[in-house]
Structures are given as C-alpha cells and as structure tokens.
Structure 1
Amino acid sequence: MIIGFAAGKNSDDESHVGELYSLYLLKESGGLGAGRQLVSVIAKQFKDKGIESMMVWVMEQNESGRGFYKRMGGMEYTRRNSEFGGIVVDDVAYKWGDVSSLLIE
C-alpha cells in the first residue's frame, strides 16, 4: 500500500541547492515517521550527487507543514508570493545547510 511520496530537484538558480518540491502523505499515516523517511531519501539522493544543502517552499497558512520542517531542523530563510489555484498565497522557504542532518541510517 502506498501511503505517500516525495520528489526533489536541483534548484532553478545557480546556488546548487536541492529543492524538496513535493511531499505528500495520506492523513492517516501522519505521525508514523514516513515523512521523515521520505525526506531522508531525497536528502540522500542530493548528498550522493554532491548537493550539500536543501530547501523547501511551504504555504504560510500550512501550519502543520511548517511545523514539520521546523521540527526537522529547517531554518526559515526567505519568503515569496505565488499563485495557487488562482489565489495569491504567501510562501515560506526552509533550508538545511547540510543535508547530512536529514539522513536516517
């Protein structure tokens, strides 16, 4: 049974920062550690490619998502406005300077 997925990519700029651009879990799978494991897999892929840092954008109103990334050690470092479903929303970026801190052995 699939309970979630994650995806990452190199950032769109020249900073050589990896971007976790999607992380989704079924609601009933929350709190089981699956989110941490998925983030760890993406972090390992970046590390293996020589990408040492990672960031993620989260809608400011997504308090559970923001809390999750903060608990994982993400530090808020910038904000932006984006359009989502025809509505302008505020986004917050969290960054990890060393993806090794996200690896689960």
Structure 2
Amino acid sequence: MAAAAVRTAEPADVAEIARIQVATWQTGYSDLLPPDVLAALDPAAAAEQWLQTIEQGPAGVLVAVEGDWLVGFCCAGPSPESESAAANGLPAPDTDTVGLLATLLVEPRWGRRGHGTRLLAAALDLLRDGGMTRAIAWTPEQNKAGKGFYRRAGWAPDGVLRTLDAGGVPLREIRFTGPVSLPLE
C-alpha cells in the first residue's frame, strides 16, 4: 500500500470530492435510495457546495489520500441545535459542545484500508480543537456497514431517529453519538 494520510481539503479538491460523493452514493446506497434519485446526483452542483464549505465553513473538510489518489473525505463542525436535539425536540444540555460529523465517505474501491478510521480520527481532532466534547453522526438505519463502523469507534445509537424524504421514499436514519477521542485497541 502506498503512503496514506489525511489532510485539509483545498479548493482544487472539490471536483474529486464531488465525484467520490456521487460514485459512493450510487454504489453504496443503491439498495436504499430510488434509482432516479441516484441517477439525478449532480457532481457539478456537489462541487459548488463543497467549494463553499471549504472556503466559508463553518465545518471543516478533510480528505484521505493514498499515494497520489484522493480516496475519501469527511466534513465535521459544530452541530446545529436541530441536529443534536433530544427526541422530543428540546436542546441537548451540552448543545454548545456537540460536533456533527456530517459526511464521511471512502470510495468503495479504496475501502478496508483504514481510510475511514483515519478520517474519523482527524475529524474528531478538528472537533476537539474547536471545543467540542462529543459528536454525532447520522447513518441510514439499514446501513449495516455504517452502523458497524461507528460501533467499532466506540459510538452508540442515542435513541433518536429521523425520516428523510428520498425522492418519495422514506429513508430512516439513526443518530450515533460518541466521544471526540477514539479508544485505543
């Protein structure tokens, strides 16, 4: 395996970040999302959104690289109150120190090489440096790989579910929460 690392995303990375996002969703979520929703994913629109996030925040974007290849990315920052609220909609007692891991994707052909764990560790460092004490992430309820990934990192479901409209099809997501440090194994 070539040298692998995580670094801060740069504006020059947005086309590849968007390509990875679309390719990964089309591959990894083909059994969760309707085909027309996946076919309508637009890399150019995604690139514009990623450029705005990289340049303006408030979240940070990190990329995983292996050799000369950008193989995955993540986005993490302070959690909006609506994302970290309790199931009854009330703000969490620690709402000011909850981070949100908004996205963490590794292109499937680069999977099982430690890139996801490196991205998660770097994102948690970013959150911790920003004063966060815990973090949350949403994953589709049927996404066994995503749920297993967060459990291996020491995170657990916190009992909050949400249902999104995925092109007329309900997509239930489960919220995981965990510390902003990874346990050593």
**Normalised TM-score (structure 1):** 0.88
Q: Which residue of 1 aligns with 2:72?
A: 4
Return the alpha-carbon distance in structure 1 between the equivalents of residues 183 and 100 of structure 2. 13
Which letter maps to 2:156?
Answer: M
Q: Distance between the aligned counterparts of 1:7 and 1:85, measured in 2?
A: 24
Cα deviation digits, residues 14-72 of structure 1 (max 9, x gap): 61210101011111211111100001111001110111100000011111111111111
Matches within 5 A, 1:4-83: 4-13=72-81, 15-16=95-96, 17-77=98-158, 78-83=160-165
TM-aligned CA distance change 1:59 to 1:79, over 3 Å: same
Higher relative contact order (CA 8 A, sep 6+): 1
CA offset at residue 9 of structure 1? 2.1
Query: Normalising by the residue count of structure 2, what TM-score does the alignment of the two structures yield?
Result: 0.52
Q: Which has the higher helix share?
A: 2
Query: How big is the alpha-carbon RMSD for the aligned residues of Structure 1 and Structure 2?
Result: 1.6
Poorly superposed stretches of 4+, deviation over 6 Å = none
Corresponding residue for residue 88 of structure 1: 170
Aligned to 1:46, the other structure's residue is in SS state helix
Query: Which sections of structure 1, spanning at least 5 residues, go unmatched?
Result: none
- Tell me which amino acid in the other structure corresponds to 1:60: E
Which 5+ residue runs of structure 2 have no aligned equivalent? 1-68, 82-90
Question: Which is strand-richer, 1 or 2?
Answer: 1
Shift in CA distance, 90/79, structure 1 to aligned 2, threshold 3 Å:
same
Give the whole-Å Cα distance in 1 for the aligned partners of 2:136 and 2:176: 5
